[in-house]
Amino acid sequence: MKKKNKKYGIIGLGRFGTALAYKLASTGAEIMVTDKDEVKVAELREITENAFIAGALEKKTLSDMGFQNCDVVIVCIAGAIDVSILTVMKLQSIGCKRIIAKANSAEHGEILAKIGAEIVYPEQDMAYRLANRLDMGTGLDFIELSNAINVSKIPVPKDFIGKTVMDTNIRGRFGLNIIAIENLNEVVETIKPDYEFKENDIIYLCGNKESVNLFAEWLDKQNNE
């Protein structure tokens, strides 16, 4: 049975909202977007028919556009805190299932969380990721989900090419699990011990920070040899 694509609503087409729209559309997801800027909305009509100009985000306007039919609605208008908060409340009132809101400060985030939205801090998250990459001294792309769970994305080390997952023994040597391998936009999610690493593989690793750091140190040594 074919998996049903999720439908995402995006309110606010600044840099964050626009980048999010393009990324979600590239995965095959159905998206709906709105902004008061006619030029920004027109640009997004290249990737979705559901792109609407809305000067005022009234409850009826949001309902008429159909945001209540989205699986997830992301509010990307953190610059105007009052508008952000009121929009989340209006989306709740029309029955939106899941609302994620961009916040530009801790106080803003606390208010949004209290009224039931999930919070993202794009600038803060990017700063943390960059700091982690610089701290490890490698090109490792690193996301810290919790103290015990970290996800890293790396190009396949040259030493791995032609070897199997069992041969490299990443779990035994570094305490990391391979959760996916991507190659030329094709993703392998079930990793078998006999999978043979290929050129252009991108490896997604999961483990605690100590394990990620251990692997990063080994990778750094390999790159400098």
Q: Do residue 80 and residue 145 come from a single domain?
A: no
For residue 165, the tally of other CB atoms under 10 A from its CB is 19
Q: Do residue 157 and residue 63 come from a single domain?
A: no
What CATH number is given to the structural domain containing 141?
Answer: 3.30.70.1450
Among the candidates 120, 154, 174, a domain finishes at 120
Q: Do residue 54 and residue 150 come from a single domain?
A: no
Q: Do residue 167 and residue 64 come from a single domain?
A: no
Does 72 fall in a domain? yes
Task: Give the separation between CA 198 and CA 75, rounded to whole angstroms.
Answer: 40
Structural domain range at position 86? 7-120
**Residue 3 backbone dihedrals phi, psi, to 5 degrees:** -70, 135
| pLDDT at position 183 over 60 | yes
| pLDDT at position 197 over 60 | yes
Task: Give the separation between CA 198 and CA 179, rounded to whole angstroms.
Answer: 16
Secondary structure letter of residue 105 according to DSSP: S
Among the candidates 91, 120, 149, a domain finishes at 120
Among the candidates 95, 120, 145, a domain finishes at 120
Residue that has been written with the tokens 């290249």 in this structure: 46
Q: Do residue 136 and residue 116 come from a single domain?
A: no
Q: Do residue 16 and residue 82 come from a single domain?
A: yes
Does 212 fall in a domain? yes
Give the pLDDT confidence score for residue 51 in this predicted structure.
96
Task: Give the separation between CA 169 and CA 53, rounded to whole angstroms.
Answer: 53
Per residue in 89-134, pLDDT (tens digit) is 999 999 999 999 999 888 898 999 999 999 888 776 665 555 555 5
Q: Do residue 112 and residue 162 come from a single domain?
A: no
Give the pLDDT confidence score for residue 4 in this predicted structure.
62
Per residue in 143-175, pLDDT (tens digit) is 666 556 777 788 888 889 999 999 999 999 999
**Number of domains forming the structure of the chain:** 2
Q: Do residue 214 and residue 149 come from a single domain?
A: yes
Task: Give the separation between CA 176 and CA 42, rounded to whole angstroms.
Answer: 45
Q: Do residue 17 and residue 113 come from a single domain?
A: yes
The overall pTM is greater than 0.85: no
**Residue 33 backbone dihedrals phi, psi, to 5 degrees:** -130, 155
Q: Do residue 24 and residue 67 come from a single domain?
A: yes
